[in-house]
Amino acid sequence: MADSCENNRSLYVPELEKDSCGTGLIANLNGIKSHKLIDNALTMLHNMEHRGACGCEANTGDGAGILTQIPHDFFAKKCREAGFELPEFGAYGVGMVFFPRDKNLMSQCRITFNDYIDEQGFELLGYRKVPTDNEGLGKGAVDVEPRIEQVFVKPKSDIKRMQLERRLHVLRKFSIHNIHKIFPQTEDDFYLCSFSYKTIVYKGQLTTGQLRSYYPDLKSEDFKSAIAVIHSRFSTNTVPKWKLAQPFRYVAHNGEINTIQGNMNSWKAKEFLLESEYFNKIEQKKLKPIIGPNQSDSGAFDNVLEFLVLSGRSMPHALMMMIPEAWEMDEDMADYKRSFYEYHSNLMEPWDGPASICFTDGILVGATLDRNGLRPSRYLLTKDNTLIVASEAGVLPIDPATIL
C-alpha cells in the first residue's frame, strides 16, 4: 500500500490542496486598552472554529493564536511575583519562548540563549514560566507540547525604542539560527513566537476554543490591550506544528502564496546585496537567512515583511511592495501610485495568491487583500471607535444600533 501511494501517477497533487484559515482583528482606535477587547477577540476566534482544522483527534487543532500589545501592568505584577522587577514600558523586551520538552536539552538551549543575550548587549532580567492547562488537548498536541516561558531583557545602555526593537530582532534571529545549528534536534522545539517591546504572541497547536483555557493569562482582568489580531489555522502546505500556528510577529494570513517558491528563491539570490542604515554589517550577517528554513508560506512572508519594516519602511509601504495592486492595466490609477508600483516592481516580485491579511506592529493596525480580492474580509466600525475585521461577518455579536 505504501509503495502504491509513493508511486502514484494520478493527477492528484497533495501539495496543491487549498482551503481557508480564519483571520481577524479588533482594535480600539482611541488607543484605550481593556481586557474586554481581549475577551471579544477570543470570542471572535472561537466563532471561527469552522475555519480551522484538526486531525483524527477532534481536540488536536492545526493551530490558533492571538497577537496583542504588551500588557505592561500584568507583566510587572507577574515578574514581581517571580522575583524580579521590570523597568518602565518601552525600556525592556519580552520574548515568548518555546523550549524543548527534554530537560537536559532545554537546559543546554537556555544556557546558550543566555550567553547570546549577554553577547548582544542585553541584561537578562529573568524568566517567567507561562501557566498552561493542557487538560483538553489531544494526544497529538500533548506529545509535542513545548515548555513555554517568557524571557525579559533590557539593554545594557540607554537606547531609543525602535533601536531596541531592532536589536531584539537581531537577537531573536541570531539565537534561533545558531541554536538550531548547535542542536539540530531542536529545529521544531526551540522557537521564539515573538520578541518585542511592543507586542506578544500566545499561540499553539490548538483549536480556537482551546486557546483561552490553555493560556490562563488571557483570562486575567489585568491582561489588557487596545489591539488584538487572531488566527484559526487550516494547514494546507505544511504539517501542523506548534511553531507554525499564527499569528506570526506581524501578520495573520488567510490564503496561499502561489508564487512562494519563486519569491523565496529570488529573495535568497538577492540576499548578498542587502544593505540597511539601521543594521551594521555584523548585524546584517547575523540576520541571514532572512527567511528561516522550513517555514510555511505565511511564515516566510512575515520574515520578509518584518525585515522591510525594521529597515525603515512603514508597514503600508512594505505591504504595498509585497502585495501590489493590479496596477499595470489600470487606466484610472493616479500617476503617483502607478510610479510607486512601477519603481518597486524592479526591486521585488509580487507575493501573489489568494490572501486576506491582518497586521499590526503594536501601534499601527490594518488589513489588506490580494490584488484580485479572492479572500474577501468584512469590517465594521462602532460608535465607540472599535474596529472589527474578520474573514467573515458575524464573528462577534454587535448591537446594530452601535454600528456607524
Give residue 2's pLDDT.
Answer: 42
Give residue 5's pLDDT.
Answer: 44
Give 15's DSSP letter. Answer: G
Does 5 qualify as catalytic in the annotation?
no
- For residue 15, count other CB atoms closer than 10 A to its CB: 6
Q: Helix or strand or coil: residue 252?
A: strand
**CATH code: domain of residue 105:** 3.30.70
Instruction: Tell me how far apart the 2 most distant CA atoms of the chain are, in Å.
Output: 63
**Number of alpha carbons in the 13 Å side-chain half-sphere of residue 321:** 19
Q: Helix or strand or coil: residue 400?
A: helix
In a domain, 404, yes or no: no
- For residue 174, count other CB atoms closer than 10 A to its CB: 18
Cα 91 to chain centroid distance, Å, stands at 22
Give residue 15's pLDDT.
Answer: 46
21, 54, 79, 109: which is the annotated catalytic residue?
21
In a domain, 154, yes or no: yes
Integer Cα distance of 99 and 79 in angstroms = 19
Residues 6+ apart with CB under 8 A from 36: none
Which residue is listed with cell 500556528? 245
Give me the sheet containing 355-360, strands edge to edge: 251-255, 355-360, 365-369
In a domain, 278, yes or no: no
Integer Cα distance of 44 and 21 in angstroms = 13
Integer Cα distance of 188 and 186 in angstroms = 5
Give residue 240's pLDDT.
Answer: 75
Determine contact, residues 359/250, Cβ cutoff 8 Å: yes
Angle CA(16)–CA(17)–CA(18) in degrees, nearest 5? 110
In order along its 404 residues, the chain shows pLDDT tens digits of 444 344 455 554 444 444 567 789 999 999 999 999 999 999 999 888 766 555 666 677 778 999 999 999 999 999 999 999 999 999 999 999 999 999 999 999 999 999 999 999 999 999 999 999 999 888 888 899 999 999 999 999 999 999 999 999 999 999 999 999 999 999 999 999 999 999 999 999 998 889 999 999 999 999 999 999 999 876 555 677 899 888 999 999 887 889 999 999 999 998 888 889 999 999 999 999 999 888 888 899 999 999 999 999 999 999 999 999 999 999 999 999 999 999 999 999 999 998 889 999 999 999 999 988 888 889 999 999 999 999 888 889 999 999 99
Integer Cα distance of 331 and 336 in angstroms = 13
Helix axes 297-310, 161-182, angle to 10 degrees: 140
pTM over 0.85: yes
> Domain containing 144: what range?
71-197
Residues 6+ apart with CB under 8 A from 25: 41, 227, 228, 229, 230, 252, 358, 360, 365, 367, 387, 388, 389, 390
In a domain, 403, yes or no: no
Give residue 295's pLDDT.
Answer: 83
Nearest residue to 66 (alpha-carbon basis) of 51, 45, 93, 48: 45
In a domain, 107, yes or no: yes
Q: State how many domains the chain has.
A: 1
In a domain, 152, yes or no: yes
In a domain, 353, yes or no: no
